[in-house]
Each structure stands twice: as structure tokens, then as C-alpha cells.
Structure 1
Amino acid sequence: MATKVLMPQLGESVTEGTIAKWLVKVGDTVNKYDPLAEVSTDKVNAEVPSTVSGRVTEIVVPEGETVAVGTLILYIEEGGTAALTEQAAAPDAKSAPTSVSVSPAAVDAAVPAAGAEQRAKQRFSPAVMRLAQENGIDLSRVAGTGLGGRITRKDVEKIIQAGKQQPVPTAVPTQPASAPAVETEASAAPSALVAPTAPAANVTYDIPVASGDQVVPVTLIRRTIANRMVQSKHEAPHAWTMVEADVTNLVNYRNQVKDEFKKKEGVNLTFLPFFIKAVVEALKEFPMINSTWAGDKIVVKKNINISIAVATEDALYVPVIKDADQKSVYGIAKSIEDLAARTRAGKLTMEDMSGGTFTVNNTGSFGSVLSMPIINSPQAAILSVESIVKSPVVINDMIAIRSMVNLCLSLDHRVLDGLICGRFLQSVKQKLENIGPDTRLY
């Protein structure tokens, strides 16, 4: 009996996945729960386990191809008694969403003025939205071939290759609300508030390759990072500001307690937990910093979930410390070590990567003293903590050697202004400079 293996749904908002690598070949014998393939999505990589024991008889989807959730990818001739039906493998009608929520700003960029009410009922995956925006595709005129008529990336790619849609205009005359809607090319385009189409991060360039040059293929993870960075810089008007903090007392205190802390807790006490603790306390004072642009509104997040950057050999991942404002310095340190270890072991889950509301980037770990980070969309701001360096500082008209650090903030100027960001940074600075022997670690 042949069992159909379908593309699984790797997360609530994931509607498609790419077969990054097959871990089996036709003729292989597999046991239940053995990994069959590595699948890459817009959010995370994961292995697809076998649902039965048996022999692989046919691989339907080749490596590198992107398909919708529920698409047949593999046949296994079952060798056991427990057969998994296609209905059991596929997401059921109640649990499988036929759409994925994306930021309202991104939805606005693809919703035609004349069909706004109709398009509000259908949402698109981030990959589909980016591809449509990058190539000027009007999604209201695309027929979806995915489950429930959902538009997949392959649908958009076919239109791009066929060249049947012209890029949408970037400016449209404003029509009075009382005027009847007229179906024209102009009315089918995004509103005048939509920014010009972003350059595609996956565009190929005619770059000469000389003898001895090394050509490095772009991995799926690197391409995802590139697309997100282009999207962030294109959609969010970045502004930047910085303050300098005297963390001499923090350095002295941490040096005094780090060895005992490591011995007692088994966790390294780095400087980063102290910085994150100061940030989350300041976010409670200035909740607007912990918000998201949503087109016609700004969503101020109740939960404070801090995204942190963790580098591996080939990519940069951004796992999330959930409810960071409810954690002590010790709790934050433990969360950082756990997330970093699972990132480097390739064991991050969808839950680990989702829900961030503000990002703290530890660029000082590799010696940087000044940086201008790109906002982790759809968040409103990102803070880079630079390297702590000893510098001559004037205190009471005298020169002293102090441990100084630069705190660099990039902000979405649609949401935030310099005044509130300046006050937020001053609050972080004050909290850091007040750390000392009385600071609680638990």
C-alpha cells in the first residue's frame, strides 16, 4: 500500500515550503519518524519525518522547488500495519488556515483601491507578498492554484516569466470617497502612499568572474536574509541616533560576580543580560517603542519579547526571548545561553523564531564600536550594543579612565520620532549607569 507524504504545515502562518535537501532516495527503506527531507520556509528550516515505515517508491518534488502546504511530495510503500491516509497527513479544514497574516503595511501594498474590500478577505504569505511587490504584480488579478484557491509563489513566478502584467504605478490620483469606483488600470494599483517597488534581492547581475575568483552559491537562508533586509530598508524610513553610557560600575560588578555565578548556575554571565534588562525596563516606560506600523494604525505590543541575533557559520538567526520583562538578569542569561546553543545545533523551532517585538543586537561581541543596524521588520526599532572600551572622560573637570559603550538605535520614522527615542535611550543609559553591588541578579 502506497502512502502519500504531503508538505507539512511548519507553523501557523506558513503556507508553503521549499525542499532544501532530500535525505532519502528511491528504494531506501525508512522507519517511522526517520527524517525524509530538509524543508526551508520563510521563518525556519525543519526536517520532515516519515509517518510510516516502508520503502520510498517515488520522489515527486525535486530539491529546490517550492510547493504549497498539503502538496504531495513523496510516496512510501508501507511495510507496517499502520497506514496514514492523505486526509490525516494534510491539515484539516479546522486547523489548516487558508491564509496567513502579514503586516497590514505589506497587505496595503498589494491591495488594489477598487477591490480593497474583496482583497481584505484574502491574505498572502510573506514570500508571495515580497515577490509580488518586487516585480509589480497586482495580486488581485492572480488566480491561485494552492489549497482553497490560495496564491502560491509558483503562481506569481509564472506571471513574471510570462511577462503578462505590467508593473503597477507608484502614484494614483486620490478619488473622493463619494465618487463611484471605476475599474481602470489606475484604480487597480496601490494607493499613492505606497512606496516605489523595492529592488529584488534575488536579481542576478552580469558580474565578470575572473580566473581565481570564488563563486559562492546563495543558500536559501542567505536569500531569505537578503529579501528581508531589502524589504525592511524599502518599507521603513530608517532614522538613527546614539548615546554613550558610562558602564564602569557594571563592568566592575560583573567581574566580581561572574565566576561565582558560573559555578552556582552553570551559565555564563555576560554583559548582554544586563543590557537587555535595562532595555525591557525602559520599554515599559516608553511602550510606543515596543510597537509595529500597521498602515492605518500603530499596534503597541503588550508583551515585551526581545529578539537577539545569533550567528552561525553560514547565517544569522534571530531567536526570541519571550516575556523578557518578567525575567531577572539570571533568567535572561539562561534564555540567551539556551537559544544560542539550540541555534548553533540547528534545533530552533518556529516558536523560538516568532513573536519578537524589539531587537537587541550585540555587535560589541566582535569589537564594533559604532553601527547602524537594519530594523527587524515589522518591529519599530532595533538597538545595537557596541563594544565596551576604556576611554578618557571628563568628570568634575578632571580626566578619568572609564568603561564606555555606545548604544545605537535605528528607528522606523513612521512610528517613532527623535524625542521619544532620545528619552528612551536616556532611560537605558541611566539604568546601566546605576548598576552596582545592590543590583539584583534574581
Structure 2
Amino acid sequence: MATEVTVPRLGWSMEEGTFQEWLKADGERVEAGDMLFVLEGDKASQEVESFDAGYLRLPPDAPKPGDGVVVGQRLAFLADEDNLEPWKDAPQPGAVPGRKTPVGQAPVPATAQTKPVRSGNSISPRALRLATEMDVDWCNIEGTGRGGRIREQDIRAAAALGQAAAPATSLTGKTEPLSATRKTIALQMVAGANLTAPVTLHREVDATALVALRRQFKQARDDKKTAPTYNDILIRLVAEALKSHPQLNSQWREEVVFVPEQIHIAFAVDTPTGLLAPVVRDADRLPIHHLADQTKALVQQARAGRLDAGQMRDGTFTVSNMGGQGVDLFTPVINPPQCAVLGVGCIRKKVVWLGEQAVGRDRLNLSLTFDHRIVDGAPAAGFLGDLAWQIEQLPESLTH
């Protein structure tokens, strides 16, 4: 008896993904434990293991590399030697058992529809309920589900952008399909802006000691040690400051606030496929050179497309550094369910007054966006003040 190969759920929020490639050829023998295919889920590609044995057989409607797939969708079969074309006996995807096509009426192939038809099942019941609650006209929304089906996230995105009805336009151009990574980023950004109560505080700090420490690390660099970057130093200082401000390290979860015992810092990395946020675990316990080794490896994996979902999971706070792009100030977006994100600008030499004397100092802008549902302004400002003090004074533990 043949076993169906279906799309697994790689993460709790995953509804769909992108099929990448088969790791076995059509007709090849597969054993339990073999890696069978590659699936791109929420920002990461993973090899999917087979839990059964048989001969891999691809039906005529098997997905091609780059095709979108949904959780539970049938991809192929693991067949036995007695039946190498099991799709002939299997019900068609979406078919209702016992229902036959009327005589003289040919079944309509899935590829016959280039645009979704607005029938009763073109919008999910939950999305329809949400559209009614949010007063969103869904008739002109292009759904991101399979076959153009409208889902809850499409309604929320339309409500946030105010574009439920697409205006007429005389513009010409081309459309570019959204990758699974870009869709995930879009959903997280919309959630961070609309499902939290974001407030941003800005503060300029004296970074003269920070610049001197970074110079010291570079001069002492050898082949065995990675010289910590500004971002490495700031991640370590943020982790240290969070020890005294656990509210900023907490998370909003279904009307309760969860306070993790660990401090896992996610940091933003720009990659060819989009923004990724790998996580440095137990950042408050890592010596600075060990932390630097970890971030260097994570950045390399992210830009090579080799991060797995586990390396981007369980972050409790995020650092986003745009100083390398010459940005002074920006408003970072919270990554739910986290409480806060720190935006880091570039370091600039400025003339400041120290007492009665004008001196040149290195200055750095920080932007803290926090969820006001979890923490109030004064505690958030206290965290930012403690972080500023650490940047200006630099604890001795950083030099060891």
C-alpha cells in the first residue's frame, strides 16, 4: 500500500511554504530516516526526513522547484513494487469521496484558473469573520493562500495598508512574486506595527570609550580570535542591562506576560533574500570573544542561505544596527511576541561641552521601541539609561 508524502508544518505559524527540490529521484528507493526533499518555511529552508520506506513516485501534479505549497498538501507517494502508479487509485486532491463528475462534464484542471474565482470558498471562514469585524471589503483583495484563497493575514494586511480596494492606475511595470521569506517578513512587520502598542524612545550617548575598546580589539586581533565588532559589544551590553530590567526581556502571550529565564538576543542581518534575525543564546553568559565567534558564524550562514529555523527561534530581545549604512536615527519594529527592539545608529564625531570646555567626542544614537502593553515609559527609559551608562563606562568584564 502506498504512503502519501505531504507538506509538514515546520513552525507553529506556518500555513504554506515553497517547495525547493527533491533529494531522491523519481523511482528511487527511500528508507525511513532518509532526507527526502527541501522545503522553505518561515525564512529558512529545511531538509525533510522520510518516516516511511518505499519507492518515490511523483504524480503528474507533483510540485516543481519554486512552487508554493500548503501544509498537508500531497506531494508524492512512497509506493511498493506491486503498484508504482498509486495516484491512479488515490482520490484527487480536494475531491469529495463518493462524488462523481457528471457524465459529459469534464473535470476542470487546477491550472485552468489563472485568477481566483470569488465563490463561497475563496475566503476562509475565519478571514470572512475578521473582514466583517474590521469592516474590510475583501472582494478586491488578492489572497496569498493556495489558489488565491484569502486568509486572515491578508485581511489584516489590507486593513493596515488601507488598500482593500486597489485603485485604478495608469502605471506600467512588472510584478515580482513574493518569496516565502518576504511574506514572513511582511507578516512580522505588520504584526509588530499593529498587534502591539509600540512606543519609541531615542537617546544619544557618548561612545568614545566604545570606539577605543573596538580599536583595542582590532589591534590585539590574531588568527585564533575574532575581533568583536561594535554590534558584538552592544549585544553583550544589552544582555547585561536586561538582567536588571526583565520586563524588557518579556513577551506578550494570550493576555499574560511571560518572563523568560534566558536572555537570547536576536540581531538583524541583511541577506540577498531579505532580513533575517539569528539568535545568540545566553548572550549574558558568553565571553565577548565567544560571542563574536557565534555572530560571525551566524552571519555567514544567513548570507549563504544555510540558517535553519531553530537558529532564528526563541529570541527574547532584538538588536538592529544600521550604523554601517550611515543611518543616524530610525524607528525599529518590534518582533512579536518580544517586548522590545533596540535600533543602533552610526557613530559620529561631535563637539560637546564638558564643563566649560568644548571637546570632540564620539556620539551614538540609540532608539528603543517597546510594547506599551507590557512595560511603561519610565521603566523603558530606565533600561535605556542603564544601557547608556554601560556604553559610556564599559564594564571590565568586556576586556577579558
Q: Mark yes or no: TM-score above 0.5.
A: yes
5 Å-filtered alignment, 1:24-35, equals: 27=26, 29=28
- Displacement over 6 Å in runs of 4+: 30-35, 153-156, 200-204
Looking at structure 2, the residues matched to 428 and 130 of structure 1 have their Cα atoms a distance apart, in angstroms, of 43
> Which residue of structure 2 lines up, in the alignment, with residue 241 of structure 1?
201
> Which residue of structure 1 lines up, in the alignment, with residue 46 of structure 2?
46
SS in 1 for 2:380: helix
> Which residue of structure 2 lines up, in the alignment, with residue 75 of structure 1?
77
The C-alpha deviation readout for 1:200-237, integer Å capped at 9, x for no partner, is 799684564645x3533222211221122112211112
Looking at structure 1, the residues matched to 17 and 391 of structure 2 have their Cα atoms a distance apart, in angstroms, of 44
SS in 2 for 1:421: helix
Matched, 1:301 2:302: no
Residue 31 of structure 1 and its aligned partner are, at CA, apart by 6.8
Residue 29 of structure 1 and its aligned partner are, at CA, apart by 4.9
> Which residue of structure 2 lines up, in the alignment, with residue 199 of structure 1?
160
> Which residue of structure 2 lines up, in the alignment, with residue 311 of structure 1?
270
> Which residue of structure 1 lines up, in the alignment, with residue 333 of structure 2?
374
Contact 2:322 2:345 in 1 (8 A): yes
Looking at structure 2, the residues matched to 280 and 332 of structure 1 have their Cα atoms a distance apart, in angstroms, of 11
5 Å-filtered alignment, 1:331-370, equals: 331-370=290-329
The C-alpha deviation readout for 1:119-161, integer Å capped at 9, x for no partner, is xxxxxxxxx99957864589xxxxxxxxxxxxxx76994799x
Taking structure 1 as reference, are residues 200 and 243 closer, same or farther at Cα in structure 2, changes over 3 Å only? closer
Contact 2:24 2:30 in 1 (8 A): no
Structure 2 residue identity aligned to 1:6: T
Looking at structure 2, the residues matched to 199 and 324 of structure 1 have their Cα atoms a distance apart, in angstroms, of 35
Matched, 1:62 2:63: yes
% identical equivalent positions: 29
SS in 1 for 2:63: coil
The C-alpha deviation readout for 1:66-115, integer Å capped at 9, x for no partner, is 4335x532124568xxxxxxxxxxxxxxxxxxxxxxxxxxxxxxxxxxxx
Taking structure 1 as reference, are residues 335 and 133 closer, same or farther at Cα in structure 2, changes over 3 Å only? farther
Matched, 1:224 2:227: no
SS in 2 for 1:58: coil
SS in 2 for 1:263: coil
> Which residue of structure 2 lines up, in the alignment, with residue 256 of structure 1?
216
Looking at structure 1, the residues matched to 167 and 80 of structure 2 have their Cα atoms a distance apart, in angstroms, of 49
41-50 or 359-368: bigger deviation: 41-50
Taking structure 1 as reference, are residues 298 and 45 closer, same or farther at Cα in structure 2, changes over 3 Å only? same
5 Å-filtered alignment, 1:107-122, equals: none
TM-score with structure 2 length normalisation?
A: 0.73
5 Å-filtered alignment, 1:141-220, equals: 157=149, 198-199=159-160, 205-206=166-167, 208=169, 210-211=171-172, 213-220=173-180
> Which residue of structure 2 lines up, in the alignment, with residue 419 of structure 1?
378
Contact 2:18 2:180 in 1 (8 A): no
Looking at structure 1, the residues matched to 267 and 387 of structure 2 have their Cα atoms a distance apart, in angstroms, of 17
Q: Superposition RMSD on alpha carbons, in Å?
A: 3.7
Looking at structure 2, the residues matched to 380 and 433 of structure 1 have their Cα atoms a distance apart, in angstroms, of 25
The C-alpha deviation readout for 1:160-192, integer Å capped at 9, x for no partner, is 9xxxxxx9xxxxxxxxxxxxxxxxxxxxxxxxx
Residue 317 of structure 1 and its aligned partner are, at CA, apart by 0.7
Looking at structure 2, the residues matched to 270 and 133 of structure 1 have their Cα atoms a distance apart, in angstroms, of 49
Structure 2 residue identity aligned to 1:318: A
Looking at structure 1, the residues matched to 335 and 263 of structure 2 have their Cα atoms a distance apart, in angstroms, of 15
Looking at structure 1, the residues matched to 323 and 277 of structure 2 have their Cα atoms a distance apart, in angstroms, of 17
Looking at structure 2, the residues matched to 309 and 362 of structure 1 have their Cα atoms a distance apart, in angstroms, of 7
Residue 59 of structure 1 and its aligned partner are, at CA, apart by 5.6
Taking structure 1 as reference, are residues 240 and 338 closer, same or farther at Cα in structure 2, changes over 3 Å only? same
SS in 2 for 1:426: helix
Structure 2 residue identity aligned to 1:41: G
Matched, 1:325 2:284: yes
Taking structure 1 as reference, are residues 432 and 331 closer, same or farther at Cα in structure 2, changes over 3 Å only? same
Residue 380 of structure 1 and its aligned partner are, at CA, apart by 0.9
Contact 1:136 1:197 in 2 (8 A): no
Matched, 1:401 2:360: yes
Taking structure 1 as reference, are residues 410 and 208 closer, same or farther at Cα in structure 2, changes over 3 Å only? same
The C-alpha deviation readout for 1:391-413, integer Å capped at 9, x for no partner, is 11111221111111001001111
Stretches of structure 1 that go unaligned for 5 or more consecutive residues are: 80-127, 139-152, 161-166, 168-194
> Which residue of structure 2 lines up, in the alignment, with residue 99 of structure 1?
none
Looking at structure 1, the residues matched to 283 and 162 of structure 2 have their Cα atoms a distance apart, in angstroms, of 33
Residue 14 of structure 1 and its aligned partner are, at CA, apart by 5.7
Contact 1:198 1:230 in 2 (8 A): no
Contact 1:330 1:441 in 2 (8 A): no
> Which residue of structure 2 lines up, in the alignment, with residue 440 of structure 1?
398
Looking at structure 1, the residues matched to 213 and 260 of structure 2 have their Cα atoms a distance apart, in angstroms, of 33
